[in-house]
Each structure stands twice: as C-alpha cells, then as structure tokens.
Structure 1
Amino acid sequence: MNFSGLAKRSGLLPFAAAAVLLFLKALLFRYFLFDHIAWAQVPADLASILVLVGLFDTISPDKSKKYVLWAVNFVVSLLLFASTLYFNYFSTIPTYSALNELHQVGGVKDSVKATIHWQNFLFFADVLVMAIAWLIGRIRGTGVEAGRTSRTWKLGVIALTVLGLFGSYLYIHNSRSIENELAQAEDVGFLNYQVSAALKAQEAAAKVKNIDVGKLTEQVGQLASSNPDLQTTETAPEGFGAMKGKNVIVIQMEAFQNFPIRLQLDGQEITPVLNGLADQSYYFPHFFQQIGQGNTSDAEFMSNTSIYPTAKVAMSTGYGDRAIPSLPKLLEKRGYAAETFHVNDVTFWDRNKLYPALGFDKYFDKPYFNDDHFNAFGASDEELYKTAVNRMVELKNENKPFYIQMITASSHHPFKIPKDKQWLKLPADMEGTQLGDYLQAVHYTDYAIGELIKALKANGLYDNTMLVIYGDHFGLQPQDNKPEDVSRKLDITYQERISRFNIPLIVHAPGAAPKVIKTAGGQVDIMPTVANLLGVSLKDENYTAFGHDLLNTVKNVFGMRYYLPTGSFFNNEVMFVPGKSFDDGTAISLDTLQPVADISKYRADYDYVMKLMGLSDTFVESLPKR
C-alpha cells in the first residue's frame, strides 16, 4: 500500500501537513525573536501544535477538514507574523490581550510599515505555494479529494492531542516561577505562553477580591521603609511649596531620549533650547521610561498618578472606567483648571476614557488645531502650542490657575518631517538613515519648545509657570540602529538598553536655583516630585503613590517591565535585568555602562520591586468603577 493511498483513505494528509507546517513556522518564529533556536524547548511548540491541530481535526467533518486546517494554519501564521512585527517594535512578545489594541494600528501605520522586513513574509510561503498548486489543479482539472477519516486514525489523533495537552501542561506548570516574560516564552513556546498569560491574569483577578485599600497603602509604606537602598532625606522636604499657586505646564515629548541633550553634531547643537533650559532648572540625567502596552498613553497615566502600568493592557483601555486618584484631581481641589492637549484624535488609545478618569476638565484633540500636515498625525508642535497658549491666556484672564498637559507628536516614529523643517546639516553617512531622521525630528521638537517659551513670555505667563518636560519613551529602533554604529557616528557611548530607555526630565521652577540631580528616577516619580513643589502633601492627602519625590530621595529603586522583563529595575548604581530568576540576571553600571560582576547585593532591590509592582497592580485593580 503506497503512502498517498493511505493518506487519502485515512485522512492523514491534512493533519500531517498542518502540524508540520505550523511546527516549522514556530521554529522560524523562535529564530526571528531570539536569533537562535533553543532545541531543548522545541518539544513545547510541538506539544501545543498537536493540541491545536488535533482539536480542529477532531471536530471538523471529513469534507471540510482540509479547509478548516488550512484556515487554522493561516490564522496562526498571521498571529506569528504580527507578533514578530510587534516584537521588532516593542521588544516584547504580545499576549492575547494585545489583540484588543489592533484597532490602534491605523493611527501609527507609518511606524508599522517601517518595522516590516521581507523575511517576515516567510510565514506565508506555504500559502503562496498552495495557492499556485490549487490554481494549476483547477486548470488541469485535477486535485486531491478529501479521504474519509478512518476510526483508527480518529483515535490516533485524539491520542496525539491528549499527549500534546499533557506536554503543554508540563511546560506551562514548570515555567510558572519564571517572571521574565521573554525567558518564559522561549521556554514554553508562543502558543503555550498565551495560555500561561491567561492563567496568570485569572490569578491576579482573584487576588483583588475583598482588598482593604487602607492596609494596602500601609504595606506600600512599610515596604519602602524596609529597603536599605531606598533613602529619602531626613530633613524637611526640599522645595516643598516653592511653586505653590503657580501654573503648571507638562510637556510630554514624543520618542525623546536623553542622549540628544547637550549633544553636538559637527558643531551644531541638537537641542539648544532644552540645553539652556536644563542649565536653569532641575535636570535629571538618570531618568528612565517605565511604560507598558499603552506606550505614550501609559506615560500620561504614570506622570499623573504615580501608579505602575500593569503591562498586560494599555491603562487607558483597561482602567479608563475607574475612579483613578491623580494630580489633576488634587489640584482641582485647590482651584486649578486641568486640561490636556494632543493633536491626534482623542479616541486613539482610548484617551476619551483616560482623560475623564484622570480628572481633566477638558481635552483638546484634532479638530481644535490648524492642520499644517506636518506628519501622519496632522498638526505640528508649533500648532499644538499656539492653541494651548491661547487657552492659557483665557484662563489667565479668568484668574484661574491651570495645570496644562501637552503631548507632542512631531518627533513620532518613523521621524519623517517636512524638508523645510530639517535644519541640521547631516554627515553623508547619516543622510536617509533613521538616526539622521531622528536627530532632525528632535531638533525641530526642541525648536518648537523655544517658540512656546517665547509665547509664554510675550503673554506674561512664563515667570508664574512651572515647566515639566520629559520624554515618553525611546525613539531609535534597536533593529535599525546598532549601538556601536550610533556610538561611532555621534562620538558617544550608546548602550543598547540604558541609553535607549534613558529619557530626559527637566523641571523649570522660576526662582529656584538650578541643579543637576543624579538620583535615578522613573516616570512614576514625576507626580510626587511635582506635588512636592506645589506644596501638595501626599501623606496628608492619604494618597497612595508608588514613586518618590526625586528632590528628596537620595537613593532610589524602581521597576520596569514590558520593554524589559518583569523583575528588571534601576537604582542609583545599575540597571538590573533578571534571567529566569534573579540568580542568572545581569547588571549594567549607569555610570560606566559596563557589566557589574557581583549582583548579590542587589537581591533586596529585586525583591522590593517585585513586591512593589505587585502592590501597584492590586491597587489599580481594586479601584472602583466611575
């Protein structure tokens, strides 16, 4: 009996083809993400594929079986393709929850296109081959008819499915202690990782039942006092109330890293405005992004709340229906107007839910700005600031102090700005590169801030206003910018993670003595720092903050996840990234940007950050619906 005859009569061919093709694609996915294939973990992929293909093979009628399995193959191929692009852009593996944000892709289509490489389409090579084979078969009038599945084969498929289910269970169970998402995904494979993520989400949801928020707040305070590496000043808070009653302008700069600050290129200052502002302000050179799945919107969430993003869902999407404690709400109690400005549509990343949840009185989005077609988002930073200043003047005339948040977009990936706004003279080896485009974009962003400052001064607002300026997240994409190339071209030391996640924070407080503060900080620290300067005591307000006032923190410790594995943290000395656990993690010095051999002294910080982020997750989950 020949094989083709057996395949036709038993129904073996559709199952075998689907299983083999998906297995090969799982190997390809591993190679794309990890630059190698960990063969010891490959059986995890095989187990999950046997479960998936076996289930659909079992429930599908014989006549439609091959079509169902080809549909499964296509859907999984699409998921692997999309997940590869997602990893290229975000450096993390998406879970099923990221599918909720697929409708946001249209808003950043230029960025998505820029991440696609031709190799990624290998996931669909078999689809093309089968389409050609089907077309030839139609022309010739031939084709493979579906065979009737034998009872023996059906039992065999069920047995393989059960075997795969048992294998998947073992892999998922044995990896439960791995907090590092990338390490876990490599251990259990893409499909099993989705199941593991769902199980963890269920466990997290169960923990928030019957939570006593008061006790949770006490735990946060006790946790901070138990960490020897977290040190605050023992004297009266520095700067407390120095800006009391003054207006506040918060500028969140799109994709703005710290390395352009004070950088020169062939004698040209990249950020002359911010350089001058940093010299007259509190400047924090060791400041880092902490965003999760919501990216820019997560940065807005953190800077206004001092709560960690869960990294499981964009905070605007997952918690926009909650009563969220925030700085805008605290200031509104003190008579402030709280308003926010963004040139994109307010529904992008569900900001129409986020802004009311944060307590903003009003938001200004796309229709409020003159569209000068600067980039894919529409209006330029200059138009953003013109509209905002007009509104500030109105509030000034009403004798109303204000808290104004502005989200810039002119330096958004892929950093293509109009030719007449490209004022830097780039070296030949930077022309047409992402690095060159990025420098042009941030140079324009800096210029526009200068125009804003001129307008504030012209309208008598500058001397009575505190400016808070920071980056939301990194700009340079790692797959397009090798650290050694950036270092060589700019004559700096560009570390692949520390330099990438390092963003600027500048707080211009009129009348305050300028100071460079080298305490390490993250975006959860913005709100406590600003509240201190405004004379808002978070302790008196019984406010649960998960960050710290950087003006009064001598040594800081804070966590980061999503773009780094859970358990990663920064302190004043290092950036630490765990492996499967703390023991196989790595630490890089913030000062030398070199590896640190002895990591044992950082275990307490690791334990602290894991507990702190867990408490933050529990806290935000426990917030009541609005």
Structure 2
Amino acid sequence: MKNRMYGLGRAQFYMVSGLLLLKLLLLRMLFFDRIAWEWVAADAAPVLLLMGVLYLITPARMKTGVFWTFNMLLSLLLFASSVYFNHFGSVPTYLALYELNQVFQIKESVESTVELVDYLFFADIVIFLGLSFFRKWTRGRDFYRSSYISPAARRVHFMVIMVAIIGGLSLSTYSIHATRGITNELVQAESAGFLNYEVVAAVKVKEDNGLIETGDIKDTVAKVAALESSYSYSDKTAAAVPAYFGSQKGKNVIVIQMEAFQNFPLFQSLNGQVLTPVLNKLAKGGLYFPRVFQQIGPGNTSDAEFMSNTSIYPIGSQAMSTGFGDRVLPSLPRLLREKGYGAYTFHVNDVSFWNRKELYPAIGFDSYFDKGSFTDDQFNAFGASDEQLYITGVKELAKLKEKGKPFYAQFVTTSGHHPFKVPEAFQKITVPDHLKNTMLGDYLTAINYTDYSLGTFIDGLKKNGLWDNTVLVMYGDHFGLQPQAVDPAKIEAALGIKYDFRISRYNIPLIIHVPGMQQGQVVDQTGGQVDIMPTVANLLGVSLQQERFTAFGHDLLNIDRNVIGMRYYLPTGSFFNNDILFVPGKTFKDGVAVSLETLQPVADFSKYEKDYNYILKLMSLSDEYVKLLPKR
C-alpha cells in the first residue's frame, strides 16, 4: 500500500507540474501573442520550486489532493489574470487582483470580455474530476496501476525533487533580479515569467514601504521643483499675469467626467445624424482641447476622478482610491473650500464602489450624493440614467445657489459604460443594420445619449439661473472601444475618419465652457488628466505657486509644449508630447513612436530622449510624493 501511494504521488507530481507549465505557456500566448522560448524556463522555475516543496512536506496519502488543489488555485489565478488582461489590457499584479471584488459591480461589462479560450485553464481539472467520479462509480477500480519501485528509482526521484527545488529557486531568483530594472511592465512580465513578476511587484511594495517610513515629503517637493526648473516649458510662465488668470474668479465650477468618452465622435455624423450636437456647440463656443489623453491606472474611472482633482499621477499598480483613500490629498476642492466654496460630488452608483467612501473625503469634498439620492429608472447595471443624475444635481445645486455660496461640483456619468447597452426607450439615434448589435454601433448610441443628457442638464442650469455664473468642465475618463472587439477599419468606414488603435483610443475630449466668452478657441496643446486641475485653477485665479501646491500637471493655457506620462494601459516610460506618442521597449532606444499629426510611425525619435528621462523622473517623484502624504 505504501509503495502504491508513493508511486501515485510521484506520478501526480510530474503530471500536475507539466499541466501547470502548459497553462503558463497558454497565459504567455494570451498576454503576448507569442511564446518566447528563451524565457519559458522563467515560468517553469517557480512551478518546480513550489511543487517540489509541496512534495516534500505533504504525506504520501495526501499528495494527490494537495497537488490538484494547488492546480485549482493557480488555475483560478491564471483565469482571473487572463480575464483581467482582456478587460484592461495590462498584466495584473497581486495588488490589482485585490480589486476583483469590484467585478461584481461591473459584472455585465467583465463577462463580455471573457473568451472561450480562458476556460482551458480548467480543462484538465474537469477531466480529472470526471475520471474520479467514474472511478467511484465503478466501485473503486484502481486506474493508477502500481508496480514495484526500486530503491535506486526512489533515489533518482529524490534527486529530481531536490534539483527542482534548488534549480527553481536559483532560476527564479536570477529572473527576478535580472528584470527588476525594466520599466516596461509587459517586457518585464514576459522576461521574468508571470509568477516571478508577482514577486517583483511585492519587492517593489516592500521598498516603497521603506520609503514611507524614512522619507521626508519636503525633500520630495524640493526635488520636484528642481526637476521642473530644469525643463523649460514656456516663456509665458515668466509673465506677470498668466493668460486667462482669474478671468472666472468667484464663479461656480461644475466638472463632468464622462464615462468611456473618446474624442473621435465629436463633430461626426452617422447616416446624417450628428453624434454629439451638444458637445460640438460647447466646443465651438468655449475652450476645446482636442489633444488630451487619458492617464488612468487600475482604478479606471476612480483614478480619473483622483487625477482631475489632485494633479497627481496614479501609481499604476493599485487603484488610488484603495491605496490612498486614507490620506489628506492636496486638491482643487480643498483650495476652493479655503476660499469659501462648497465641494460636492454626484455618482449614481453606491459610494462603496472603488472605495469612493474614502476617496471623496480624502480629496476634500464636503458631501457626496450616491445611489440612494437618485430615482432608479433601471438604465443599466449602475441603476439610474444620466438624465436622473442631472435632475437630482440641478435640484441640489439650486439649493446651494439660494444660500449664496459658490460651489465646486463633480458629476460622474455612467450611461456610457461598457458594454454600452442603452435601453431602446432611451436611444436617440438609429444605427444602420450592419452596425446593430455590434460594439461600435452600441458605443455610438451610448455616446449620443450621454451628449443628449448633458443637454438636459444645461437646460436645467439655465432654468434655475445657474448657467451664466458657472464654469463647466467636461472630459472623458478613459477609452470605450475595446481594440480586440472593434477593427479600426470599421470605425473609419462608418465615420470617414482616421483611427489609430493607440492614439485615437486614448484621446479624450476636454472642453471648458467659460461664461461670457465671445468666441471659442481650439487649444492644440497636448495634455492629460493631470493638467485639468492646474488649467481650471488658473481660470479661477488660484495661483498654485503662491499656494505652494505641488502639481504634476501644467496649465494648458500657458505652456508652449508639454510632456505627459502614461502607464498601466501602456508601459511605464510611455509619453505623449506635442509631436508623438512614444512607447519604450526594454529601454528608450528599442521603443516605438507614432506621430500625433499623421498617425504614422516615426523612425527617428532620438531627439525625444530628454522627454523620456524627464517623464520617468517626474512620475517617480509623483509616486514618492503621494506615498508620503499624511494620513487622515
């Protein structure tokens, strides 16, 4: 009996180890569209290490159960990681996977990105369970025939286990050490292997915790100032009074963050139907920034809220609401509260979603209005429609007007959320038959409804005497169209425009309606979500320099060139400047660049290396700064 159990445990060790390696190779293919065989050993190493340790510490009679339980747990991890990658386009770290509890809030959206191939991670487990039930049904017939195992064979197997443990540990240690300096997370994950990549992330967290314990935020602020002074942006900053400074001083501010709203639908029509008539009019009559790009991290919409209010970069490995909701975050709402403003935020979902219950007081909002504040017309998984969001919003803002107190109000729309299913009763356009029940057709319908709802909001503001005294800021939080689901050629055919799967995808609108503006202005300056707060502050006459406010973005109305960093959806080190989008490889030299103007590859991008080095330092200092902020 003992010999049989030994033989069975040995067989299961080899079988499960092989299956797990195959699953990690499948994950490589799903992540990187290839299997780089020179790095496969980096996947095999941690599997052999863990399986070897389990073999040594597990009693013979329990080995089969332990091995297959480990197989199941790792399969769940790989499945979740693949689904995560499908939805977000990034290799998740264990910190990002902590956010899986948010999936139930966007279940419909996530389910639409699960692919049949993802279920292959469980194929062997289903077969194993089937055989086990069949074995039990046939009254315990032994399908694992055992034979005599000689002492020499036992010794050889023991040597294999020891080689697996020692070799696995050595190779994993080497892989982790060799890849830690790679800033491009995709290259880092491919080189280190998925499991080793998780260890790299854990090591970085430990180092960051050490920084928090020993760092001084004053030193960090000084380093930011030194970096900024070394990088010349514009001669305009030397002016006594920056352009537009204080032109809207004392005005109310309403910031509308539009869900999944890309810039390309503006000024476009579908079969003669104007897609965004309201935003088109606002863009023509106000400040329109057509070259603004998303910069969010794992927190997606909540990261956009964080950025637009604080001008701090997301760290890229964890939602800012989860990681920093316990801090005192310097922000525009806090600055305006000191000047007599009230600060409020409106969102139709439960405030616990993405830990907004902590994020909102961290940013400095006086109060929030969430799910229970709105009439639920069952628009989508979030509940109330944008129309209901604005009906409640106008009502509450009218009350504030009666008190004579200026306000800063943030609205987060949700009617345009993936998978973009607008109930028929709410649809305002008719898509052609060939676009019906496609992501592109659904997306354009959702965008149009978002625009329509905004029009009802503006009507409500005018009716209640709020419009003429309010600066209205509108921007998209992140892209909507999934690149694996919508061919750029279909977008180009439907609307007659050029669409690039990276530049157009990440390009979001920023429009600022300024009361009393006689003629609109198109501001072609490249910018990002970190630039929204400094730009609005300038209009309101809030000098960030005098307030000693550390911002990592810039006032887009007073610079002649700009560089903004992006990570998570693109690798760390990626940036947009006035000319190109740049994405690094292992280093700057093996990166790629695309022209913002022509959407064509740029072969010689060597002159932009200064921008690359600058943005890496700036984002690193932003991470350092936010981690050193005091807790509430």
Same fold (TM over 0.5): yes
Give me the whole-angstrom Cα distance separating, in 2, the residues matched to 1:259 and 1:461. 30
1:311 and 2:316 are equivalent in the alignment: yes
Task: Give the letter for the 2:216 counterpart.
Answer: D
| Map of 1:610 onto structure 2 | 616
1:460 aligns to 2:459 (yes or no): no
2:543 — aligned with what? 537
Tell whether 2:230 aligns with 1:226: yes
The amino acid of 1:537's aligned partner reads S
Counterpart in the other structure of 1:288: 293
Cα deviation for residue 490 of structure 1 reads 2.2
Q: What code does the residue aligned with 2:491 have?
A: V
User: How far apart, CA to CA, are the structure 2 residues paired with 1:56 and 1:8?
Assistant: 14
What is the CA–CA distance in structure 2 between the aligned matches of 1:331 and 1:577, rounded to whole Å?
Answer: 37
Cα distance in 1 for residues equivalent to 2:251 and 2:340: 11
Instruction: State whether structure 2 residue 592 is matched by structure 1 residue 572.
Output: no
Q: Contact (CA 8 Å) 2:233, 2:559: kept in 1 or not?
A: no
Q: In structure 1, what is the equivalent of residue 90 of structure 2?
A: 92
- 1:404 equivalent to 2:409? Answer yes
Q: Gapped runs of 5+ residues in structure 1?
A: none
Please give the per-residue CA displacement for 1:525-568, whole angstroms capped at 9, x wherever unaligned. 01100111011111111100000001101100110000000000
Residue 207 of structure 1: aligned partner: 211
Q: Is the 8 A contact 1:337 1:403 kept in 2?
A: yes
Q: 3-state DSSP class of the match of 1:452?
A: helix
Which residue does 1:357 correspond to in 2?
A: 362
Per the alignment, residue 183 of structure 1 pairs with 187
Hey, what does 1:589 align to over in structure 2? 595
Aligned residue number for residue 41 of structure 2: 43
Question: Is structure 2 residue 569 aligned with structure 1 residue 563?
Answer: yes
Deviation at 1:210, TM superposition (A): 3.4
CA distance in 2, matches of 1:103, 1:176: 29
Cα displacement (A) at 1:143: 3.2
- 1:548 equivalent to 2:548? Answer no
Task: State the distance in 2 between where 1:371 and 1:458 align.
Answer: 24
Unaligned runs of 5+ in 2: none
- For residues 547-602 of structure 1, the C-alpha deviation after alignment (integer angstroms, 9 at most, x for no partner) is 00011011001100000000000101111000111110011111100111111111
Residues 229 and 543 (structure 1), Cα distance of their counterparts in 2 relative to 1, 3 Å cut: closer
Q: Residue 490 in 1 paired to residue 495 in 2? A: yes
Alignment of 1:334-483 (within 5 A): 334-483=339-488
Would you say the 8 A contact 1:178–1:580 is kept in 2?
A: yes
**Counterpart in the other structure of 2:274:** 269
Distance in 2 between residues matched to 1:154 and 1:534, nearest whole Å: 73
Shift of 1:54: 1.5
Q: Which of residues 116, 130, 133 in structure 1 aligns to 2:131?
A: 133
Residue matched to 1:217: 221
Structure-2 residue corresponding to 1:164: 168
- TM-superposed deviation, 1:232: 4.9
Matched-pair contact (CA < 8 Å) for 2:254–2:471: yes
Q: State the alpha-carbon separation in 2 of the partners of residues 586 and 99 from structure 1.
A: 29
Report how far residue 99 of structure 1 moved: 2.4
Mapped contact 1:337–1:400 kept (Cα < 8 A): yes
Partner Cα separation in structure 1 for residue 604 and residue 53 of structure 2: 49
2:554 is aligned with what amino acid? H
C-alpha distance in 2, partners of 1:103/1:132?
31
Of 53, 59, 62, the match for 1:61: 59
Inter-partner Cα distance in structure 1 for 2:235 and 2:57: 61
**Superposed displacement of residue 6, structure 1:** 8.8
In the aligned structure 2, how far is the partner of 1:602 from the partner of 1:523?
22
Instruction: Give 1:7 shift.
Output: 8.8
Asked if 1 retains the 8 angstrom alpha-carbon contact of 2:233 and 2:560, the reply is no
Contact residue 227 and residue 604 of structure 1 kept, 8 A: no
More off after superposition, 49-58 vs 110-119: 49-58
Q: What is the match of residue 104 of structure 2?
A: 106
Provide the rounded CA distance (Å) in 2 between the counterparts of 1:438 and 1:384: 20
Q: Corresponding residue for 1:120?
A: 118
| Cα-to-partner distance string for 1:22-80 (whole Å, 9 max, x where unaligned) | 01111111111111111111111111211121122222111111111101111111111
Of 188, 198, 201 in structure 1, the residue corresponding to residue 202 of structure 2 is 198
**Shift in Å, 1:177:** 1.6
Q: Which residue of 2 aligns with 1:143?
A: 142
Counterparts in 2 of 1:146 and 1:294: CA distance versus 1, 3 Å: farther
Which one of 322, 333, 338 corresponds to residue 338 of structure 2? 333
Q: Which letter maps to 2:62? A: S
Equivalent pair of 2:309/2:533 in contact (CA under 8 Å): yes
Residue 17 (structure 1) aligned to one of 6, 15, 18: 15
- Tell me the amino acid that sits aligned with residue 51 of structure 2: V
TM score, norm. by length of structure 1: 0.97
Q: Using the TM superposition, name which of 377-386 and 197-206 deviates more.
A: 197-206
Report the residue type matching 1:312 in the other structure.
S
Give the C-alpha shift of residue 228 in structure 1.
4.4
Report the Cα distance in structure 2 between the residues aligned to 1:100 and 1:436, rounded to whole angstroms: 33
Q: What TM-score does the superposition give when structure 2 sets the normalisation length?
A: 0.96
Tell me the distance in 1 between the aligned counterparts of 2:5 and 2:453: 68
Shift of 1:146: 10
CA shift, 1:231, in A, is: 6.5
Q: Specify the SS of the correspondent of 1:552.
A: coil
Shift of 1:97: 0.6
Bigger mean CA offset, 245-254 vs 95-104: 95-104
- Match of 1:470, SS state, is strand
Alpha-carbon distance between aligned partners in 2 of 1:331 and 1:204, rounded to the nearest angstrom: 32
Matched residue SS, 1:479: coil
Q: Is the 8 A contact 1:227 1:605 kept in 2?
A: no
Q: Does the CA-based 8 Å contact 2:270-2:494 persist in structure 1?
A: no
CA contact (8 A) 1:9 1:150 kept: no
Query: Distance in 2 between the 1:263 and 1:10 partners?
Result: 66
**Take 1:228 and 1:26, find their aligned partners in 2: how far apart are those partners?**
46
Contact kept, 8 Å, 2:102 with 2:353, in 1: the verdict is yes
Could you say if the C-alpha distance between residues 231 and 351 of structure 1 is closer, same or farther in structure 2, counting changes exceeding 3 Å? Answer: farther
Quote the Cα distance in structure 1 between the aligned partners of 2:497 and 2:135: 60
Q: Are 1:600 and 2:606 an aligned pair?
A: yes
1:119-157 superposed Cα distances (whole Å, 9 cap, x missing partner):
111111101111111121112121357989956634531
Q: Which stretch of the first structure deviates more once superposed, 351-360 or 167-176?
A: 167-176
- In structure 2, the residue matched to 1:320 is 325
Does the 8 Å CA contact 1:574/1:589 hold for their aligned counterparts? yes
Q: Is the 8 A contact 1:231 1:555 kept in 2?
A: no
Partners of 1:338 and 1:373 in 2: CA distance: 28
Rounded Cα–Cα distance in structure 1 between residues aligned with 2:403 and 2:360:
23
Structure 1 158/431 Cα, relative in aligned 2: closer, same or farther at 3 Å?
same
Q: Is the 8 A contact 2:236 2:242 kept in 1?
A: no
More deviation in 528-537 or 415-424? 415-424
One-letter amino acid of the counterpart of residue 583, structure 2: V
1:52 match: 50
* SS at structure 2 position matched to 1:531: helix
Q: Distance in 1 between matches of 2:145 and 2:217?
A: 61
Counterpart of 2:173 in 1: which secondary structure?
Answer: helix
* Cα distance in 2 between the residues matched to 1:544 and 1:208: 18
1:382 shift after superposition: 0.5
Identity in percent: 55
Q: Could you tell me how far apart the structure 2 residues matched to 1:507 and 1:499 are?
A: 21
CA distance in 2, matches of 1:566, 1:38: 22
The answer to whether the 8 A contact 1:230-1:556 is kept is no
Give the letter for the 1:396 counterpart: K
3-state secondary structure, aligned to 1:555 = coil
Q: Aligned letter for 1:520? A: T
The CA deviation at 1:112 is 0.9
